[in-house]
Amino acid sequence: MRLYEYEAKKLLQTCGVPVSQGRLLDSPGPLPRDLPEGEWVIKSQVLAGGRMKAGGIRFATGRAEVEAETGRLWRHPIHGMLPRAILLEERQPVAREYYCGVTYDPYLQRPLLVVSASGGIHVEQGDGPVGRVSLPVLEPVGDFLARRALVQVGVASAELSPLTRILVSLIRAFFQYDLLLAEINPLAKLEDGSFIALDAHVEVDEDALPRQQAALRGLSIESDGRALKPPTPFEAEAAAIDASDHRGVAGRVVEFDGTLGLLIGGGGASLAAFDAVRRHGGKPANYCEIGGNPSVAKVASLTRLLLSRPGVERVAVIMNVVNNTRADLVARGVVKGILQAGRNPAGALAVFRIPGAGEEEAVRLLRFYGVEPCTRAVTIDQAAARAVAAWRGAGA
Amino acid sequence: MSRLLATETRILIQGITGREAIGMVRSGLDYGAKIVAGVTPGKGGQEVYGVPVFDTVEQAQAHSPVDASMISVPPMLTRDAAMEAIEAGIALVVITTERIPRRDVAQILEAAQRRGVRVVGPNSLGLIAPGMSKIGSVGGSAADTARAYSPGPVGIMSRSGGMTTEIASLLTQSGIGQSICVSMGGDPIIGSDFADLYRALDADPQTQVVVIYTEPGGSLEVRLAEYLRRARPRTPGIVFIAGRFMDEMKGVRFGHAGTIVQGPGDSAGAKAELLAGAGLTVAENLSDLPRLVGEALARYPAEGVGS
């Protein structure tokens, strides 16, 4: 769960990271009366990186200019998202920019501290030396590990102590709040010699929310309404179906622009089936994922939703040999959904391939409706080929 | 324990009185798994299908020696359960729980590494030695398991539980059996990975070919390629990579928690190139697997994969 910049700074500050102090505007309107003149940085609060390039960070001098730029930013989408708030910060005289971050390294399978002496937008270009130190998870992290990373990038001895304090605070926040990413970029050295986090990127582990929710609420950080890419109405409806009861998964849908509806699962087989449909020339209307033995009602609603899309005449149902999900329950849900949509299962089902638990029952039910399901002798890619052939026959 | 899993492997189930665990006990016992004890704190003295339940792992071990523990407890309690098993020195700990906080997983793995304990999972469907034993819900009921899995020479390791069974079934349909099949879990951080398990399968006398199922995201394949080049195992390997369509969709997660293309190196295409370069055969279609496995069986023992 990604935090807004202003939330990230508030969170890091509780662990002792010095951050730039700003004014948060949470709705469009006139500027606060007591806002001083001077030079300001105006920052769009969206859940996206690369804000500078996307025009989400502006500079202005004096109230009039700040007012004009702020008004423009409220209406300026960044990667498709309008700002949730706007952060005004006084422009600081920067002497030098560093980068530092902590995240789980998938290769080492441990947290990794990364430091670079060339921060800001230069980090992406990979300029300059990078310090990397793997962090222990079972005992407290010693300051010496932060120093080791700093020395690797050639930090001057005079700067070592203040930078160590900031890194140690960042690491503390990473563990204390169950973060997946804690990043300060840039970490600025100001002309007066002090250090300050000018921007921060923090991601909280959603799986740890049960034990972090209270602490986050204490910082006014709420966990809902944070989709990185706003869902399409179709995707939102599918998500609502999935949330309608807790049994299994049926509704994690991503919309595509084709006309072959897909009801596929589980986590791995859905990828294999999607690849195979495309390889045979099919144009999927959606990706989706079913598994964990979803209820009949959930599968029925999802099937109906897929068929409600303009141009979608056929739905392909493909799963791996199931371990837990019951094929007959999925078959009942699919048939029910097709009938509710006013279609005929024999025509609307491009293919049905779910071998495993309950398959005999599924076969009986589907045959009753004139559908001949695939047995396990038909592979996932052969089933995909049949689905594409049926979809072509429907005049797709 | 010489082998990952065998008929004589004595299995403990932590969280044995939970709904899912009860199902796993039934299918496991029916399949022939030697489930010797269970643990649920506060439920000591009960039984699940005749398997005695204890309050602590220590009590369970006093009742019977244990070679492997399967953990199926709520996500926030998993770290504690795993630490109890690791501290008890149980050689193999299989974690089926999903949605465990990443910090807890990292702690479990570090503790396990220090004690020399092998962890499979989290979010694993389990592992199976066909015709001998199984841990977890892999394969479903004993009857369904026996239809999909058959004993033979092919080891399977997979980031997807469903695909573990799908690939076994595909091979069984072609008359090719399996030695040990492991659902590793699809999370970003897991215990035993491809490199660890390839080593274990290469050392297993029954295994003559390894089949790998993987997806975009993460860098387990980098470790695998390094292992193959360094150790040059005798057992040939075939890899199938799903999620090719994701290569054009950076940053969007599909399927498992760890399945997301973030950099140029973790796409399906990049992994195919890397692993082919390290000596594995890349299967373009699932349907090609029986033929490719047949060809690889004829090559065993290989001169050394990865050269």
Q: Which of B10, B134, B256, B271 is catalytic?
A: B256
Which pLDDT score, from 0 to 100, does residue A396 have?
53
Q: 3-class DSSP state for residue A196?
A: strand
Residue A142 CB: number of other CB atoms within 10 A? Answer: 12
CA distances from A141 to A104, A170, A173, A181, B153 (A): 15, 11, 12, 17, 46
The yes-or-no answer on residue B63 being catalytic is no
Query: With 90 as the cut, is the pLDDT of residue A182 above it?
Result: yes
CA distance A293 to A330: 8
Q: State in Å, rounded, how far the first CA of chain B is from the last one.
A: 30
Whether the full predicted model's pTM is greater than 0.90, yes or no, is yes
Q: Are strands B151-158 and B209-214 parallel, antiparallel or unpaired?
A: parallel
The dihedrals phi and psi of B271, each to the nearest 5 degrees, come to -70, -40
Contact across the interface for B189 and A109, Cβ inside 8 Å: yes
Does the interface ipTM go beyond 0.90? Answer: yes
**Contact yes or no for B110 and A324 at CB 8 A:** no
Name the residue among A178, A289, A377 with its Cβ closest to that of B101: A178
pLDDT digits (tens, 9 = 90+) for B161-208: 999 999 999 999 999 999 999 999 999 999 999 999 999 999 999 999
Does the pLDDT at position A351 exceed 90? yes
Q: How many CB atoms lie within 10 A of CB A375?
A: 11
Report how far residue B155's alpha carbon sits from residue B57's, in angstroms, rounded to the nearest whole number.
31
Whether pLDDT at A227 is above 70: no
**Is pLDDT of A125 > 70?**
no
Burial-class residue A257 by CB neighbours within 10 Å (0-12, 13-18, 19+): exposed
Give pLDDT tens digits for B252-286.
Answer: 788 787 787 777 788 999 999 999 999 999 999 99
Q: What is the pLDDT of residue B251?
A: 76
Q: Do A107 and B219 touch (CB under 8 A)?
A: yes
CA distance B259 to A322: 21
Residue A165 pLDDT > 90, yes or no?
A: yes
pLDDT at B1: 44
How far A113 CA lies from chain B's nearest CA (Å)? 15
- Residue A104 has its nearest CB partner, among B148, B163, B189, at B189
CA distance A360 to chain B (A): 12
Give the residue on A whose Cα is nearest the Cα of B189. A109
pLDDT digits (tens, 9 = 90+) for A254-273: 999 999 999 998 889 999 99
A108, A138, A207, A353: which to substitute to probe chain B, counting the most B Cβ within 10 Å? A207
- Interface check A317 vs B, CB under 8 A: no
Rounded-to-integer distance, Cα A170 and Cα A182, Å: 7
User: How do residues A51-88 score in pLDDT, each as one tens digit?
Assistant: 988 899 999 999 999 999 999 999 999 888 899 999 99
Q: Which residues of A touch B259 (CB under 8 A)?
A: 267, 271
Indicate yes or no: CB of B170 within 8 angstroms of CB of A208: no
Give the pLDDT of residue A395.
58
Torsion angle defined by CA atoms of residues A266, A268, A270 and A273, in that order, rounded to the nearest 10 degrees: -130
Q: CA of B206, closest CA in chain A: separation in Å?
A: 25
Q: Residue A241 above 60 pLDDT?
A: yes
Buried b (16+ CB within 10 A) or exposed e, B250-267: eeebbbbbbbbbeeeebb
| Both tokens assigned to A25 | 């505007």
CA distance A292 to A324: 6
pLDDT at B280: 97
In chain A the first and final C-alpha atoms are separated, in Å, by 39
Q: For chains A and B, what is the number of CB pairs under 8 angstroms?
A: 158
Contact A32, A86 (CB under 8 A): no
Among chain A residues, CA nearest to B192: A109
Check residue B306 and give its pLDDT: 74
pLDDT for residue A331 is more than 50? yes
DSSP track, A58-106:
EEEEHHHHHHHHHHHHHT--BTTB--SEEEEEE---EEEEEEEEEEEET
